[in-house]
Amino acid sequence: MNLILQGLSTQRHIVEQIAELARPRSIVAIGEHAYRCLDCSYNDEVKSQIDIAAWAAKLDYAFIERSRSLSDFKLVAMDMDSTLITIECIDEIADMQGLKPQVAEITEAAMRGELEFKESLTRRVALLKGLDASALQRVYDERLQLSPGAEKMLQGLQALGMKSLLVSGGFTYFTNRMKQRLQLDYTHSNQLEIIDGKLTGKVIGGIVDGEEKKRTVARVCQELDISPEQSIVMGDGANDLKMMSIAGLSVAFRAKPIVRAQADIALNFVGLDGILNLFHK
């Protein structure tokens, strides 16, 4: 088993101190702030010790089987809000109505798993009734930013021939633009109803919740004639857990505690491109 340690700024002596908990055969620098610790001992106790030490040092870690490589995977599936991008789009749309605190509170409860997603989305979208649809473009132009490392990650994975899926409990207005901007292969999300240039406070069709996200990943895998085990799935909130559960590698990105606890790997400090450091090229 190899141990990857990486951070935004990394001092080798700290890496060596943390890695010693897993007694590696050797430590190799694989980037400016990333190290691969070879042939580590691995068990629950070691993992727990590394988890505590790495968090304290603001380093991300991952135990990866030596035989695994990025070429094992054929699809990367991503949540959008607070994963591929830094914002929750619905919270920013609500801010145009002066309703961001109310909507953000519901969003947070849903992402922590305290509120069923369909109910939370229905309640939040209802608060947007009457808002001019031009607010969506304003959010895209003024507030939407890609998460750190997003473009580098996608370029790296696409260069290996990996397909990409953006599956979101957010809205088609934004996923469609992300698809074009980042040359994504597939997107699936919710469609806001707009009549006479105004949001009606309703969603057209079924709501993309956690179960639908899981079905979408499985469907795209079937279309590509691959197993879900050949997918990398990443997210940050409780509604991502079902699709993450069928992946060959699940990645929690700056995620809620409930998601970090269940994911194979958590990236808490580095950008999304930290995925590229996990495997031998």
- Catalytic residue numbers read 79, 81
Tokens of 72: 């094992």
Answer for the pair 244, 74: CB distance below 8 angstroms, yes or no.
no
Answer for the pair 232, 247: CB distance below 8 angstroms, yes or no.
yes
Q: What are phi and psi of 34, to 5 degrees?
A: -140, 145
Please give the Cα distance from 162 to 200 (Å, whole number): 38
Alpha-helical segments (H) within 165-227? 172-182, 210-223
Tokens of 253: 């990105």
Amino acid identity of residue 19, one-letter, is: A
Q: What is the CA radius of gyration of the chain?
A: 20
Amino acid identity of residue 194, one-letter, is: I
